[in-house]
Amino acid sequence: MTIPQTDPLAGYIAHRSEIDLAMEQCLESGHYVLGPQVTEFERELGDYLGGGPAVGVASGTDALVLALRGTGVRPGDRVATVSHTSVATVVAVELVGAIPVLVDIDPATYTMDPARLEEVVSRSGPDRPLKAVLPVHLYGHPADMAEIGRIAREHELIVVEDCAQALGAQVVDRQVGSLGDAAAFSFYPTKNLGAIGDGGAVCGTSTVTDSVRTLRQYGWRERFVSERPGINSRLDELQAAILRVKLRYLDAENERRRAVAQMYDDALGTLPIRRPSTREGFTHVFHQYVIRVPERDRLLLHLKDAGVSTSVHYPVPIHLQPAYQGRAELGDQLDVTEAVCGEILSLPMYPEIRDTDVETVVAAIAGWTR
């Protein structure tokens, strides 16, 4: 018996009868792409985020692409983001034709360091200005949006939030996704709100969502009339129907993730291991529970032998990946990024994990340290 690091099957089984019913109704409706389920889901997600309807798209990567295009980022524009993230963040910037400019992270929360962003902005100068900033709410912890927002206002930067890992997280009483000009969400099966396939969404001002709504389907507002060059990035009805069921449980499941994190915190507190920290006033949704320990690879193998699966998010920063070496623009030294990637470890984390499994994980970690 191995304890998995994440468990999308358990996420289906937990809501099986409701999901099966929703799928059956959808199959019999004859609407399979951009129909009533998508429209309802867009409204429900928008309500959840405290704004107007979101726009359903085919993936989180597409959501980022369309959020960037919808806010006015154009080919050749420079977009500040991080190297310690899913490669999808940087892929999306390049798909727009824009240039990713990589900024270092804060070692406490693993999110963009605003002080470093400020240095990158001031070094950029008037001939090569930054156009936008794309912070990532990594592992479910919001980036420092107050500071990033202040810098963006001072320098007239567009702010697009990468919320793929953080649906439900808050800064004080505001949901992530409502803290910039636009935001992108992913419903990849392992995300906090996971589909049974691919999916994504964009939210933002009505100007942005209106633009994204046309861009996601050939630039159409009116059928067969392409107002501007668009793409095909539609959310299908089955995924929307499933997401509507699961959205109703999101807050409870995020609460369970926090309870699991608390159990890890309590048990690991006495060990020489760095635990995740939550900034004052922020609500963490623990997409991942990431510890930091110098002998990470040894601990990983020890846990594997003890039947505990772990993962590393992410083992190689983007600027050191074969595809991006010497290609992505380094706005910064990236010394924190390069230091953490060899020491971080993501423990098992999903809402359905049993307390006894959490106890097994911490016992295995304690056995190694001793």
Ligand X SMILES: *Cc1c(COP(=O)(O)O)cnc(C)c1O
Question: What does the binding site for ligand X look like in residue numbers (CB under 6 A)?
Answer: 59-61, 85-86, 88-89, 136, 162, 164-165, 186, 188, 198, 200
Q: Of the two residues 184 and 293, which places its CB atom closer to ligand X in the complex?
A: 184
Least spacing, CB of residue 283 vs ligand X, in Å: 18
- Closest by CA to 237, choosing from 199, 289, 288, is 199
Do 105 and 117 form a contact (C-beta atoms < 8 A)?
no
How many residues are recorded in the chain? 370
- Distance, in Å, from the CA atom of 33 to the CA atom of 39, rounded to the nearest integer, reads 11
- Distance, in Å, from the CA atom of 63 to the CA atom of 190, rounded to the nearest integer, reads 17
Least spacing, CB of residue 161 vs ligand X, in Å: 10
- Closest by CA to 202, choosing from 82, 81, 59, 97, is 59
| 151 phi, psi to nearest 5 deg | -65, -40
- Closest by CA to 100, choosing from 324, 315, 321, 313, is 324
Across the strands, what pairs with 292? 274, 344
DSSP classification of residue 159:
E
Q: Of the two residues 185 and 264, which places its CB atom closer to ligand X in the complex?
A: 185
Least spacing, CB of residue 92 vs ligand X, in Å: 7
Least spacing, CB of residue 69 vs ligand X, in Å: 16
Residue nearest to ligand X (CB): 60
- Closest by CA to 310, choosing from 266, 344, 355, 260, is 344
- Distance, in Å, from the CA atom of 18 to the CA atom of 12, rounded to the nearest integer, reads 10
Least spacing, CB of residue 162 vs ligand X, in Å: 5
Q: Of the two residues 136 and 215, which places its CB atom closer to ligand X in the complex?
A: 136
- Distance, in Å, from the CA atom of 214 to the CA atom of 230, rounded to the nearest integer, reads 7
Q: Of the two residues 135 and 365, which places its CB atom closer to ligand X in the complex?
A: 135
Q: Of the two residues 85 and 310, which places its CB atom closer to ligand X in the complex?
A: 85
Do 214 and 72 form a contact (C-beta atoms < 8 A)?
no
Least spacing, CB of residue 217 vs ligand X, in Å: 18
- Closest by CA to 73, choosing from 184, 165, 158, is 158
Q: Of the two residues 163 and 365, which places its CB atom closer to ligand X in the complex?
A: 163
Least spacing, CB of residue 195 vs ligand X, in Å: 9
Which tokens in the block code for residue 307? Answer: 């039947």
Q: Of the two residues 85 and 175, which places its CB atom closer to ligand X in the complex?
A: 85
Least spacing, CB of residue 298 vs ligand X, in Å: 27
The dihedral sign for the CA sequence 167, 170, 175, 177: negative
- Distance, in Å, from the CA atom of 14 to the CA atom of 351, rounded to the nearest integer, reads 10
Q: What dihedral angle (degrees, nearest 10) is formed by the CA atoms of 42, 44, 45, 49?
A: 130
Q: Of the two residues 163 and 336, which places its CB atom closer to ligand X in the complex?
A: 163
Q: Of the two residues 200 and 276, which places its CB atom closer to ligand X in the complex?
A: 200
Least spacing, CB of residue 188 vs ligand X, in Å: 4
Do 100 and 90 form a contact (C-beta atoms < 8 A)?
yes
Q: Of the two residues 268 and 289, which places its CB atom closer to ligand X in the complex?
A: 289
Least spacing, CB of residue 64 vs ligand X, in Å: 6
